[in-house]
Amino acid sequence: MKITMEYFAQVRVAAEKDSETLDVSDHSTVHDVLCLSAERLGDAFRALVFPNNSLSRSIVVCANDTAVYDTSAVLQAGDTLTILTPMSGG
């Protein structure tokens, strides 16, 4: 199934792209897709998203514009998964 990945803020820099379409297995979870992305996008992405081999608490993940708190959530064909770091300032 195809899903869209969107990268913002520091995650965009680490991924070296704004977005992409991935073909993933049916019943893939958010965690599965994040791991797949870490394998594909390399060390900078992996270090930002999975420091110490677990999902960073400073990473925000949204599925179809809704925050994801349980990365075992199963994705559906056509979903958009957005990954970003919180921004501050003014």
Residue by residue, DSSP assigns 6-41 as EE-HHHHHHHTSSEEEEE--TT-BHHHHHHHHHHHH
pTM of the predicted structure, to 2 decimals:
0.90
Long-range contact pairs involving 62-67 (C-beta distance under 8 Å, separation at least 24) = 63/30
Is 56 in contact with 49 (CB distance < 8 Å)? yes
pLDDT tens-place string over residues 3-55:
999 999 999 999 999 999 999 999 999 999 999 999 999 999 999 999 998 99
Is 31 in contact with 76 (CB distance < 8 Å)? no
pLDDT tens-place string over residues 68-84:
999 999 999 999 999 99
| 2-84 CATH choice from 3.40.50.300, 3.10.20.30, 3.40.630.30, 3.20.20.450 | 3.10.20.30
